[in-house]
């Protein structure tokens, strides 16, 4: 599998987790909602998604730099 595709897939997954957690937190602020939200778990999810996205961005950047170096060597 292509490294860039893997990195992009991980970024999309992290974005989905971030959006899901944000929706859960937003729904908790609704006074009509009887659902309890574990703020510590939500915080862990947000931080984890941020770290996953950041790591995937670095992987994509390194893959791009390696590809450029390889093209420089061949060209």
Integer Cα distance of 54 and 57 in angstroms: 5
Q: Would the pLDDT of 5 be above 60?
A: yes
Extents of the domains making up the chain: 3-74
Integer Cα distance of 31 and 9 in angstroms: 36
Residues in CB range of 39: below 8 A, 6 or more apart:
none
46 vs 36: which has the higher pLDDT: 46
Spatial contact of 19 and 53, defined as CB atoms under 8 Å apart: no
Integer Cα distance of 38 and 34 in angstroms: 13
Q: Would the pLDDT of 34 be above 70?
A: no
């Amino acid at each position: 599998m292509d490294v860039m595709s893997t990195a992009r897939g991980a970024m999309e997954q992290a974005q989905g987790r971030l959006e899901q957690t944000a929706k859960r937190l937003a729904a908790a602020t609704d006074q009509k909602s009887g659902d309890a939200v574990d703020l510590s778990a939500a915080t862990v999810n947000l931080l984890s998604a941020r770290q996953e996205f950041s790591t995937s961005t670095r992987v994509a950047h390194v893959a791009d730099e390696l590809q450029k170096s390889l093209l420089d060597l061949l060209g």
